[in-house]
Amino acid sequence: MKQTEDPTQDLAGLTGRHRLVGLAAQFDAARGTELGTALIVSPFGVSADNMFLPAFTLASNGFRVVRFDPRNHVGRSEGDMYDFRISTTAEDVAAVLDAVRPDLVVGFSLAAPAVLRALAGRSDRIPAIMAAGVVNMRHTLKAVLETDFFDVRPSDHVSVLGEDVHGLNFIDDCRSFGAVEFADTVADGARISGPLTYVAGTEDPWVSYAEVEEFARVRTAGPTTVLPLPVGTHQFNLNPTIALSYTKAVLAECLRVVGSDEEGTIPPLHEAITARKRLAQSEAAGQVAR
């Protein structure tokens, strides 16, 4: 993998895999006229490689896309999922924002609190779009794990969506970081002047749609848009139909925030699958930088 560690370096022409501020990153070139750069931040337990569908969709519609693996997460960056922390993810998002200076950032699910914190206090007003973005860590973790580990002491080993995580350290980190209650999200939102959009499932069992609407209502630091999706599951990565619904909504909002009048098109699924296979074959043949 190439080394691209200098945040002042011109990153505009990069494609393929590179090291960026010490992290494994993937740069996807825009097809057609470039509309801007979109930074994608993956949900918990999903690597940047596995965010190919939204990345391919945005790139197919004129966006240059950057996606990366945080530390202590699945993917190609350093560390182990056992040591996952929301605080280090936020630090990594902030570092990548400084290096890339994207036109917008898209955060998925549990990435949302890290993206909010990384944006808090910035003067560049980068628009952020949250797909199924978590607004209440306590509620979401209790829904996923069926236990409120902010009240019940977790063990050293907690299985979260099939990933082994040091439960006590993760919960302690959430407390010290300030990502536990809905009020913590409101506090971060108050420090962000740029526009925020939440693409939210109206029947999402892990993220309360009512709380997403309440967050939009009480936030006055900048504009907040809520785009409802009539879906009843949070795990869009396991359901292609729901994944496409979120992808379509994210694409439309990305086009809107950069001022494009284009309607946007979702590439056929077989086209995305073929493109991913070709990328894998190119990498195996050593044609893509590692």
Q: What CATH number corresponds to the domain at position 13?
A: 3.40.50.1820
Residue 159 lies in a domain: no
Measured CA to CA, the distance from residue 137 to residue 100 in angstroms comes to 28
Boundaries of domain holding 206:
2-80+88-131+186-284
Residue 162 lies in a domain: no
**CA angle at 290 for the pair 61 and 128, rounded to the nearest 5°:** 40
Q: How many beta carbons lie within 10 A of that of residue 22, not counting itself?
A: 13
Closest to 130 (Cα-Cα) out of 278, 253, 238, 266: 253
Closest to 21 (Cα-Cα) out of 39, 8, 37, 36: 8
Closest to 136 (Cα-Cα) out of 120, 116, 153: 116
Residue 167 lies in a domain: no
pLDDT of amino acid 287 = 57
pTM, whole model, 2 decimals?
0.93
**CA distances (Å), origin 1, targets 23, 25, 283, 286, 290:** 11, 9, 11, 10, 3
Measured CA to CA, the distance from residue 6 to residue 64 in angstroms comes to 20
**CA distances (Å), origin 26, targets 75, 115, 270:** 11, 18, 22
Mean pLDDT per 10-residue run, the chain (290 residues)? 48 88 96 96 96 96 98 97 98 98 97 98 97 98 97 97 97 98 98 98 97 98 97 84 92 97 88 82 64
Residue 55 lies in a domain: yes
pLDDT of amino acid 219 = 97
Residue 221 lies in a domain: yes
CA quadruple 85, 89, 90, 94: dihedral, nearest 10: 150
Question: Cβ(161)–Cβ(44) under 8 Å?
Answer: yes
Q: What is the domain count for the chain? A: 1
Residue 149 lies in a domain: no
Instruction: For the chain, report the end-to-end CA distance as a whole number of angstroms.
Output: 3
Closest to 116 (Cα-Cα) out of 196, 224, 234: 196
Measured CA to CA, the distance from residue 195 to residue 223 in angstroms comes to 5
Measured CA to CA, the distance from residue 179 to residue 187 in angstroms comes to 10
pLDDT of amino acid 289 = 41
Residue 261 lies in a domain: yes
**CA angle at 167 for the pair 47 and 78, rounded to the nearest 5°:** 35
Q: Which two tokens stand for residue 126?
A: 């980068």
DSSP H/E element including 159 = strand 158-160
